Amino acid sequence: MTPEKQSPFLSGRPTRRDRLPVLVGPLVGVLAALVCGISVLTGVVVVHNMQQELTGVKRELTAARERLAVLESFHGFTGGEVADDLSQNDGMMTPDDGDHGSARVKRDGPVLGGREFCQQGPPGPAGRDGVAGRDGRDGVPGSAGPTGPVGLQGPAGDKGDTGLPGRDGEPGAGGSVYIRWGRKTCADNGGAELVYSGVAGGTYHNHPGGGTNYQCLPTDPQWGRRYQDGVQGEKSYIYGAEYELNTNVPFGSTSLHDNDVPCAACYVPTRGSKLMIPARNTCYSGWTREYHGYLMASYYNHPGSKEYVCVDEQPEAVPGGHADHNGALFYPVEARCGSLPCPRYVEGRELTCVVCTK
């Protein structure tokens, strides 16, 4: 027969349920002790934090006292006045406190008027560059400054292209003068003006001295302040001039033989150069012919030589001057071959001439 199992509750040993109250008591005690320790530790931390806060408040109060001392020294007010301002602003100094400055100080206790000055600290670092402003408006142009000194001359530049020919300018103020031998007037070629009309003269034909050129003497002479009439001997002389024409060549007649030679001084205002060309009766290109005729000079064997002049091809005579007084003489000029190139020139042929201006 199988033995029956005995119930634990019927046995004399304690069960788990019986041991539970015994364990709960000590556990509650441990928890209570732990809570008490945490409370104590929290109190210690709170006290430590309060001490640090009080230390910070003391430092702020000390700084406030120093600031008040500086303000009192520079602005002439007492700590009591500042205390009143602090009491009205809940212990804070604000920008509205007049000349008290812009410091904001927390007041936790009475304000004392200290007398010590704070030394000025070193300058702070430079601030950052601000944002660039917009461009300003253009100003009013200023007046021109004085002219500067002339600079050094630069190097010559390259030669430019030749420009177009310009227009013909107005006649210049120069002009030219010529003598028209054998005539009393100027050639009618458009532009020549008569300066005066006169008679030809020069040194006597057989005198070795005196002048060597013919002169066109005006018909209205003027005298100086001092003069002496009569021939004094040791002087130079000038005589009138005559044609010497033994044949009708080259003027076609001998009627002018021993007649006095007239002349005319002519001025051309529009042409500044004059040229007498022997052995031609026309001018070269670009020149204007004033008159033309035949070349004449003194006799080849006379001691008094004269220059070569161009006598008009249609010569005139001075009225009343047909007597044979000799004096300075005009002879036609013939070509002689040899050094003179022939056959372009012809032996013994009378030479022509032309007076040109430009």
pLDDT for the residue 48: 85
State residue 156's pLDDT score. Answer: 87
Q: What are phi and psi of 287, to 5 degrees?
A: -110, 155
The per-residue pLDDT for 88 is 52
For the chain, the domains span 26-118, 172-220+236-358
Q: What is the pLDDT of residue 22?
A: 62
Average of per-residue pLDDT values in the chain: 83
CA distance 202 to 217: 9
pLDDT at position 107: 45
> Using one digit for the tens of pLDDT, what is the confidence trace for 259-283?
999 999 999 999 999 999 999 999 9
Output the pLDDT for position 16: 58
- The Cα 122–Cα 330 span in angstroms is 121
pLDDT of 331 reads: 97
**Cα 22 from Cα 2, distance rounded (Å):** 37
Given this model, what pLDDT does residue 170 score? Answer: 64
Measured CA distances, 242 to 154, 215, 323, 325 (Å): 66, 13, 9, 8
SS3 103: coil
Q: Which of 306, 311, 314 is nearest to 353 (CA)?
A: 311
pTM summary value: 0.53
Are 71 and 101 spatial neighbours (Cβ–Cβ below 8 Å)?
yes
- One pLDDT digit (tens) per residue for the chain, 358 residues: 444 444 444 445 555 555 556 667 778 888 888 888 888 888 888 888 888 888 888 888 888 888 888 777 765 544 444 444 444 555 444 444 444 444 444 444 444 444 455 678 888 888 888 888 888 888 888 888 899 898 888 898 888 888 888 776 665 568 999 999 999 999 887 789 999 999 999 999 999 999 999 999 999 999 999 999 999 888 999 999 999 999 999 999 999 999 999 999 999 999 999 999 999 999 999 999 999 999 999 999 999 889 999 999 999 999 998 889 999 999 999 999 999 999 999 999 999 999 999 9
DSSP string computed for 131-188: PPPPPPPPPPPPPPPPPPPPPPPPPP-PPPPPPPPPPP----S--EEEEEET-SS---
Distance of CA 6 to the CA centre of its chain: 139
Integer-rounded Cα Rg, in Å, for the chain is 71
CA-based nearest residue to 186, from 247, 132, 265: 265
- What does DSSP assign to residue 230? S
Distance, in Å, from the CA atom of 328 to the CA atom of 238, rounded to the nearest integer, reads: 8
| pLDDT tens by residue, 45-59 | 888 888 888 888 888
